[in-house]
């Protein structure tokens, strides 16, 4: 995936041999730019709820959070065990509903608006990479059905980018295509 997904990449390409310099007398100032394009998010097939079953979804989300807690991302979770469990529970409600289960998330919390909900935590590109990397291990360890891994991955991969609200580099967040391994 070396495609251009930011306007700044595009203008870098255009200006390859003519990068404006601050020392250039004729330089009027930097152009308008956008940071990067948050990609479209496509939900995975709704039958996943029946195929996985609520118990396995619950296990998956809990396992993901338990592993994350041991990484840099863990700083974002409550230290208190009961509060941590609540966080996992809330996330589980979201996954259950997103994968085709009952409306247990929206009944309690309203629309997901996950980006907005995460503004309270500072989430950078590295956090997103770790989150996704750990999810990869989870899918393998819990024996997630092979035939649904690609659409599931493409969902969470695009979704994870939306949570980034702290930028630490000019480069667009790395896309992580599905990989059978």
The span of 54-62, 81-89, 100-108, 126-134 binding its own copies (CB under 8 A) equals 100-108
Q: Rounded to the nearest whole angstrom, what is the least distance from the CB of residue 80 to its own copies in the complex?
A: 24
Contact characters 116-155, its own copies, x per CB under 8 A: x--x--x--------------------------------x
Cβ neighbours around 156 below 10 Å, total: 20
Name residue, tokens 């990989």. 179
Nearer to its own copies, 67 or 156 (CB): 156
Contact call for residue 165 and its own copies (CB under 8 A): yes
Q: Which is nearer to its own copies, 33 or 84 (CB)?
A: 33
Q: Whose structure tokens read 């009944």?
A: 107
**Terminal-residue alpha carbon distance, the chain:** 18
> Residue 102: CA atoms inside 13 Å, Cβ hemisphere, count?
4
Q: Would you say 44 and 155 are in contact if contact means Cβ atoms under 8 Å apart?
A: yes
Spatial CA neighbour of 115 closest among 19, 39, 15: 39
Q: How far is the CB of 58 from its own copies (least distance, A)?
A: 20
Residues of the shown chain interacting with its own copies in the complex, contacts defined by CB under 8 A: 21-23, 27-43, 97-98, 103, 105-106, 111-112, 115-116, 119, 122, 155, 158, 162, 165-170
């Amino acid at each position: 995936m070396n495609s251009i997904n930011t306007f700044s990449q595009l203008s870098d390409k255009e200006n390859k041999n003519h990068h404006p310099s601050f020392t250039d007398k004729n330089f009027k100032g930097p152009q308008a730019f956008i940071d990067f394009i948050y990609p479209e998010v496509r939900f995975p097939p709704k039958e996943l709820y029946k195929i996985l079953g609520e118990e396995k979804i619950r296990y998956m989300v809990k396992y993901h959070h338990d592993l994350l807690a041991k990484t840099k991302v863990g700083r974002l979770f409550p230290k208190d065990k009961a509060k941590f469990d609540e966080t996992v529970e809330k996330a589980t409600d979201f996954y259950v509903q997103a994968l085709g289960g009952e409306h247990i998330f929206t009944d309690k919390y309203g629309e997901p608006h996950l980006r907005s909900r995460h503004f309270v935590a500072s989430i950078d590109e590295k956090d997103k990479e770790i989150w996704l990397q750990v999810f990869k291990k989870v899918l393998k360890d819990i024996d997630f059905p092979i035939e649904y891994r690609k659409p599931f991955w493409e969902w969470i991969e695009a979704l994870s980018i939306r949570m980034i609200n702290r930028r630490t580099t000019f480069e667009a967040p790395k896309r992580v295509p599905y990989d059978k391994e």
